[in-house]
């Protein structure tokens, strides 16, 4: 459910710290063997041209490019015999010395907090079995001389490993830097549109700069899975980076609720670029979330929001259940579900300057009986927050989310509510939506009763979901409820969740 909105245009992947060697020095050290043969061929050709044609003036195109047309060799005299020696195969057919050693290692791949570190799962010669990225054509179609692939997975048995997704790296070498750049442009365009998958939406992009990188960028798209009843989405973040005549493609795929800025993938791509030329990433780009955050904060204004603005599990009310007084709320990793069930678009569409999110679940006997989702949004100007409030109010009123209408009905229209917090809020609205629960593919009367709230104070909004499982009756003290008093405890629990959440979100505001 995480939806961090960062000032992407201020972020740079080259982290300040220990001075880096220049790109030319790294390439010379890391790729000396591979370049030697090509340098000898080029040097021989230049020397021959100098003997035959005399002095050559290189124009503005620069040394190594075709600055002037080569002069033809003089015709042989009658005493001369034309040479019949065939050209060397190595001069016309590029030979790759790309190996598995040019693939990124585990320590190069940055794991986002709170997810566990990436570990190697499988390494392939070539592009491996199955598509490593559903948006891209095969590198073989781009005339790559050689390719290798390595897949990474979250460290097994660690917390949040199940929701971290997968990370895959493919490296390739081409006959020239121009061919590598053409392939990079083609792959980046495919990643940005992902035309091969139906229903994709462009979520965002970032540049990849620094170190030995010749050029690169990251493009993120999202799309609904085949089962869209939960409004979950797949996120595919693709980094395509060129280093002279070599290319690295990183693909991070996971389920998300909203757009997640791929700043850690940005740092991973810079690290992978060093491996591509046979070098180790300098300490300044070492794989840690802290280093990524440090480089971001070096150029971006200090953040206003933090986890301190999010409610904690201990502040949420218990749900009375048969046989015990209450269960215990547990904070969970970001889930591939929206903050609000009636959310009509990604929260990034609201254009907040910052946001923080948190989710909680309540279980009894292995069955989920409670859900609380929270997102706090900070806007640059109050008019932006005002417009966002109206948008969310419209979502609550019409519930335009992409869901099966047969499973959803709204119990009552959206209405303004009062929230007893200090400081006093500007305004708040709430609705109750009812929708079918998951019965494992079998028919049942399980139902979710979901109160959804939006509150505003100045430039800040807070979105809250408080959902309880029921069926055939709502979570009231009587089934069916007959008196207003039957709703008292349920209403109190919802109010406690909303007040605790809003109080925490607005605590630093006057």
Query: Which backbone phi and psi does 128 adopt, to 5 degrees?
Result: 80, -175
pTM beyond cutoff 0.85: no
E runs forming strands in 155-245: 166-173, 201-207, 215-223, 233-243
Q: Could you read off the pLDDT of 111-136 as tens digits, one per residue?
A: 988 889 999 999 999 887 667 899 99
H helix or E strand, kind and range, residue 251: strand 246-256
Q: What percent of the chain stands above pLDDT 70?
A: 72
Q: What is the pLDDT of residue 142?
A: 76
373 or 288, greater pLDDT: 373
Residue 334 has pLDDT above 90, yes or no: no
pLDDT score of 163 more than 80: yes
User: What pLDDT, on a 0 to 100 scale, did the predictor assign at position 127?
Assistant: 84
How many Å apart are CA 452 and CA 429, to the nearest integer?
8
Q: 38-52, 361-375, 442-456 — which is least confidently predicted?
A: 38-52
Contacts of 252 (CB under 8 A, 6+ apart): 165, 166, 167, 235, 236, 237, 262, 265
List the beta strands (DSSP E) in 95-200.
118-125, 146-154, 166-173
Structural tokens at position 119: 């570990």
Residue-wise pLDDT for 296-316, tens only, equals 333 445 678 888 999 999 999
CB-hemisphere CA count at 13 Å for 418?
A: 1
Mean of pLDDT over the chain: 77
Q: Residue 323 has what DSSP assignment? A: T
**Residue indicated by tokens 């009843």:** 229
Per-residue pLDDT at 349: 81
Which domains are seen in the chain, by residue range?
8-20+96-299 (3.40.1000), 307-505 (3.40.1000)
Task: Calculate mean pLDDT across residues 17-42.
Answer: 42
| Whether pLDDT at 250 is above 90 | yes
- Read off the pLDDT of residues 35-65 as tens digits, 9 standing for 90 and up: 433 333 333 433 333 333 333 222 222 222 3
Q: Given this model, what pLDDT does residue 52 score?
A: 35
Mean pLDDT comparison of 76-85, 271-280, 380-389, highest-scoring range: 380-389
């Amino acid at each position: 459910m995480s939806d961090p909105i960062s000032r992407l245009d201020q972020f740079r992947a080259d982290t300040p710290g220990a001075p880096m060697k220049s790109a030319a020095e790294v390439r010379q050290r890391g790729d000396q063997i591979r370049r030697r043969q090509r340098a000898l061929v080029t040097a021989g050709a230049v020397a021959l041209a100098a003997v035959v044609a005399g002095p050559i003036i290189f124009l503005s195109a620069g040394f190594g490019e075709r600055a002037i047309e080569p002069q033809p060799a003089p015709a042989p005299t009658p005493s001369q015999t034309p040479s019949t020696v065939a050209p060397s195969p190595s001069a016309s057919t590029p030979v790759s010395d790309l190996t598995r050693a040019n693939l990124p290692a585990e320590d190069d791949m940055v794991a986002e907090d709170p997810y566990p570190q990436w570990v190697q799962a499988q390494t392939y010669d070539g592009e491996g079995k199955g598509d490593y990225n559903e948006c891209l054509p095969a590198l073989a179609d781009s005339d790559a001389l050689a390719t290798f692939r390595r897949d990474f997975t979250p460290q097994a048995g660690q917390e949040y490993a199940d929701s971290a997704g997968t990370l895959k790296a493919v490296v390739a070498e081409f006959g020239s830097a121009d061919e590598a750049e053409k392939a990079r442009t083609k792959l980046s365009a495919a990643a940005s549109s992902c035309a091969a998958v139906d229903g994709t939406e462009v979520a965002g992009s970032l540049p990849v700069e620094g170190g030995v990188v010749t050029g690169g960028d990251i493009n993120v798209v999202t799309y609904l899975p085949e089962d869209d009843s939960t409004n979950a989405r797949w996120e595919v973040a693709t980094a395509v980076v060129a280093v002279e005549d070599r290319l690295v493609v990183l693909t991070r795929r996971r389920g998300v609720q909203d757009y997640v800025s791929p700043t850690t993938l940005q740092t991973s791509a810079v690290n992978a670029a060093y491996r591509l030329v046979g070098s180790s990433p300098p300490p300044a780009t070492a794989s840690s979330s802290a280093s990524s955050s440090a480089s971001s904060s070096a150029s971006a204004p200090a953040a206003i929001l933090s986890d301190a603005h999010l409610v904690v599990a201990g502040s949420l009310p218990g749900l009375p259940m048969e046989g015990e007084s209450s269960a215990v709320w547990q904070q969970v990793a970001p889930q591939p579900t929206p903050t609000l069930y009636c959310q009509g678009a990604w929260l990034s569409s609201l254009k907040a300057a910052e946001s923080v999110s948190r989710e909680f679940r309540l279980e009894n006997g292995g069955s989920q009986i409670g859900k609380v989702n929270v997102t706090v949004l900070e806007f640059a100007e109050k008019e932006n927050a005002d417009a966002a409030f109206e948008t969310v109010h419209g979502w609550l009123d019409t519930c335009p989310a992409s869901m099966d209408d047969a499973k959803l009905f709204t119990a009552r229209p959206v209405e303004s509510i009062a929230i007893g917090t200090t400081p006093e809020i500007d305004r708040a609205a709430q609705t109750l939506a009812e929708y079918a629960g998951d019965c494992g593919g079998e028919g049942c009367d399980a139902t979710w009763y979901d109160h959804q709230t939006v509150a505003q104070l100045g430039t800040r909004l807070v979105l809250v979901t408080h959902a309880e499982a029921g069926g055939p009756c709502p979570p009231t003290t009587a089934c069916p409820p007959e008196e207003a008093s039957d709703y008292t405890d349920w209403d109190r629990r919802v109010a406690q969740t909303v007040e605790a959440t809003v109080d925490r979100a607005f605590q630093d505001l006057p």
